[in-house]
Amino acid sequence: MLAVAVVLLGLLSTSYGALQLKPYNETALSMFLANDFNHDGVITLVELESSFDKYDANGDGIESRHEYTEYICAVSPSLYQLSHWLFDDYDFNHDHHLTKQDYDSLFAVMDANHDGNVTAEEFIAYWERIFPKYETIGQHGQHFAHGNSACH
């Protein structure tokens, strides 16, 4: 998921403080290519889970919101606010922590045909459904209720 955040940084432009993700399919394809670590045309669960340890700062097998957002803040400060929204989307069981089970759930949602691989088409279709809600982040002073509006 680090690659998702970092690629978003490279693709985003701002207009009045709002994220510009359009065209969604091109943004999603760039994200797919960054997450297909072995460049075989599919993302596997192993590839998705490979970023887990980067966020789990204390190594306890659980990513807190603080660990996740602070890592994003350190790598890409401009994505700090978005990182709170991503955290909530990735927290499938709504326990306010990310575990490999949440990553597994994210993978299962993206893997539309449940064959154990996420193709570019499946990945793009998933993000085309998700991106519209991110378009207004930062518009008109909007901020995320769980965190500060800037890295701390």
Instruction: Return all residues near 150 (Cβ < 8 A) that are at least 6 apart.
Output: 77, 80, 81
Q: Mind listing the pLDDT tens digit for each residue in 104-134?
A: 999 999 999 999 999 999 999 999 999 999 8
The pLDDT of residue 1: 62
Instruction: Name the residue ranges covered by the structural domains of the chain.
Output: 2-11+21-140
d(Cα 139, Cα 29) in Å, to the nearest integer? 25
pLDDT above 90 as % of the chain: 57
For residues 84-103, average pLDDT = 95
Tell me which amino acid residue 9 is: L
Handedness of CA 25, 31, 34, 36 (dihedral sign): negative
Overall CATH class of domain 2-11+21-140: mainly alpha
Whether residue 100 has pLDDT greater than 90: yes
20 phi and psi, to 5 degrees? -115, 105
